[in-house]
Structure 1
Amino acid sequence: MKKIMLAAVCATFIVTAPVAAAPAVNGSTGLINTPSADVLREGQFSLGYYNLHEGNAGSFGIGIAPKLELSVAAFDYDRRSNETYLNAKFGVLPESVMTPGLAIGIEDMADETDRSFYAVASKGLPLGFRIHAGVGNGRYDGFFAGIEKVLNPVSVVTGNSVFPTTSLIAEYDGHDMNFGARLTLVSGLKVDAGWRHDKTYVGATFTY
């Protein structure tokens, strides 16, 4: 009986684990506009594209060493000068069944707009929830947090239709509340859509 209960608890936490890391708008692995404690594995890379109200954003990230991720994000704005951010994130502690993951990072290293240092923790919970909370300066203005809810850990097939693995996201980025959905079409390929800074956005990311 104890073995059965242990297996059930482990299974519950397994389905709360992140389906796969994906870049946020600013290039670092994360949610919509905030980073998570997830870090690309060594040799893993990510690509991202977001269509925002203020313009377009593209990103590239790579795990250059164990627990170390570098990324760059380029913003093509409609009504102001373009910007490029260089970011780095280091995984301090990996997430486990009992303890959260912890990472520290810096965004916009060259201080093109607003250099920001941060620390963030992430933890999966039962019933498909995962929470994130962090502190930082710069654009984070002290505190940021987010929550994810995985609706279905695996794709669901009903007749001729396939409902992809879907996560709902809500976050506070230090200034605004943002909301979105992230759909996994195939392994590593995701489509995002939602509400960011009081405007709609759509995007696509690929992590390999």
Structure 2
Amino acid sequence: AFVAAGLPWFAVEYEARLTGIARHLGDAEAAERAARAALEHGADFLEPTGHAQLHLQLAEILGATGQFGPAADHALEASHWADEGGEGPTLGAWARHQLGGFLLRQGRWAEAAEVLESALPELSAQTHGDGAIVQTHWWLGDCLTELGEHREAAEHWLQAAEIARHWPEQHDHAMLAHLAAEALGHAELLPEAEQA
């Protein structure tokens, strides 16, 4: 209705809100449709940060439904638009974190590692939460293991374990310490493996 009336910018706001509501209600299909419509109708009107937010929402929707290739494409777009809008260290870092995860889920280990390593210095506990930092280190460890870089993988898992050590739930800490010990064992660093 808004588009037909020559007011597409109103359609973008409505569709963006609909995206959030549909996600909240667990209707991924409706959320995806609304996000795509908002991007289409807002192409000429949105500020870079608006583009970034919509691309990131769509990436997360697609990722949640197992569509990791398209999710990675939209996370990359979100990263670009966030940087363009001066939001690189905040929204851009989160988009790169998500992009790395989507690449990892596709088995694109080297690309994922490169993206995650670029996101890591920008992620902060205050802005993104320490869970995002732990997850990024964890994913980096997974990528580096697949690439045969066991020592580097262990370093990332140990850094993640150190952060998770302070969490009330200790499952992640224990799992990360175990992964680090295994990686150090594969790297033939047995004394360090026993210490981990």
TM-score interval w.r.t. the shorter chain? under 0.3
| Bigger proportion of residues as helix | 2
Greater C-alpha Rg: 2
| Bigger proportion of residues as strand | 1
State TM-score, norm by structure 2.
0.22
- Whose RCO is larger (CA < 8 A, sep 6+)? 1
